[in-house]
Chains A and B, each alone.
Chain A
Amino acid sequence: MSADIPAVVRARMNAHLDAVETQLASTGVPREKRRSIIDDLETHILEMVRASDPQPVTEDEINAMIARLDPPEAYGTEEIAAQNSPAPLKAPGPVDLRLCPGAKRGVFWIALAIVAQLFVLGALTPRTVVVQPTTTGSFVQSDVPNSAPPPQPMPAPPTAPILGTMLFVAAGAVAIVAPIVGTLFGWMAVEEIKRLENRFYGLALAVFAALFYPLIVIWVGASIVWYRAVAADSAGPVSDRARTLWTIGAFASAALLTAALCWVLRRALPGASIGGKLALSR
């Protein structure tokens, strides 16, 4: 159809499109945005041309059509208005700026995950079974951590094992679920803050919640791979050299991932120091 448009009509159309683009450029509208507006406008004019009867459209008719459109000076007013006056209707503006609830939830779940995992790790710490005689001549068996001082025999209340097991299972479940929930909240909060930046702040908190556990997972994975690589040569027990190499590698990768997290946080928080007002800034 565009091939059927007389050259004079096409030229008049192009002149209008050029005038609009010049106007948009003069008001500071970025190139990409200009292009999309011009594309929409070109489709608009071509739809008018197509709907016109009779065909083909004459120069007078295209002039009449363009006269019905907004003049080029009408474009770019949104940009000018944005620079000079309050924005058009938007859901709660800067006055309602508050810490993104998703970021708060994300950090809460990450903290909960850390506590639960420390609890589980503590409960799983290898213990030594010590059997020693009591003053009455019977034997008492007790569990103590490897590093603990010599145990004092003490009868445990009968409900303790059940309660302990329940607590352990609950903490285990939280230790598995909380990192996933925290990470998801973090990502959702990042998306929400970016989308509604005039409404929420707390991007650094959200990024922290979103990345903390993924980075931990990467670190654990890298450490396992590294351990296998350095231990591959030893047929029997792992040598001291391999152990040292692994320790250095694990620390180096932890430092690298911490640096990566700091770098991302700095990007999320331009101009702020990581140690200072990080948590609550945008």
Chain B
Amino acid sequence: MDKAWSSQLKKGLVELSALAALQTGEAYGYQLLQRLSATGPLATTESTLYPVLSRLADEKLVSVRQAPSPSGPPRRYYRLTAGGKKHLDELRCYWSELSAALNQLLNSAQQGERT
């Protein structure tokens, strides 16, 4: 899966993945990366995730809370806002439509090959 197209495809999904990963509770950047890594295919890297988190905070889709860290400077904890939850619902609906349409297309192409 280490192809350029797969990383391009995943980049488009980082916002949805990050918001979805924050549903289980607030997390700081590194923690969120680990949550995404645990999913396998949705694993991403810091150069992709941190700018997206910063943008989501700008758009007030996530709130930021600073808390002391045992390892140095304060950690920035991200949490879904009400707007973020709503936006996630919209993205979820959009994703469902998108994946259903794509699956339909892929399945019909597969059936065409069989016949």
Contact = CB atoms under 8 A, between A and B. Distances in A.
Interface of A: 1-2, 5, 29, 33, 36-37, 39-44, 46-47, 49-50, 69-70, 74-79, 81, 88-92, 191, 195-196
Contacts of A1: 70-72
Contacts of B35: none
A41 B28 CA distance: 11
> Of residues B50, B91, B94, B95, which shows the largest number of chain A Cβ atoms within 10 Å of its Cβ?
B50
B54 A36 contact: yes
Contacts of A88: 11-15
Contacts of A76: 51
Interface residues of B, number: 41
Which label, helix, strand, loop or mixed, suits the secondary structure of the B interface?
A: helix
> Of residues A5, A44, A92, which shows the largest number of chain B Cβ atoms within 10 Å of its Cβ?
A44
A91 B30 contact: no
Interface in B73-88: 73, 75-76, 83, 87
> Of residues B13, B51, B95, which shows the largest number of chain A Cβ atoms within 10 Å of its Cβ?
B51
A95 B71 CA distance: 47
B50 to A, nearest CB: 4
Contact of B51 (A29, A39, A89, A92): A29
Contacts of A41: 29, 46, 50
B59 A37 contact: no
B47 A77 contact: yes
A5 B72 CA distance: 10
A33 B14 contact: no
Contacts of B95: 89
Contact of A78 (B51, B64, B70, B87): B51
B58 interface: yes
Contacts of A92: 90, 94
B33 interface: yes
> Of residues B46, B70, B90, which shows the largest number of chain A Cβ atoms within 10 Å of its Cβ?
B46
> Of residues A40, A74, A92, A195, which shows the largest number of chain B Cβ atoms within 10 Å of its Cβ?
A40
19 contacts: A1-B70, A1-B71, A29-B51, A33-B58, A36-B53, A40-B28, A40-B29, A40-B53, A40-B76, A43-B28, A50-B71, A74-B48, A81-B11, A88-B13, A90-B91, A91-B93, A191-B83, A195-B61, A196-B90
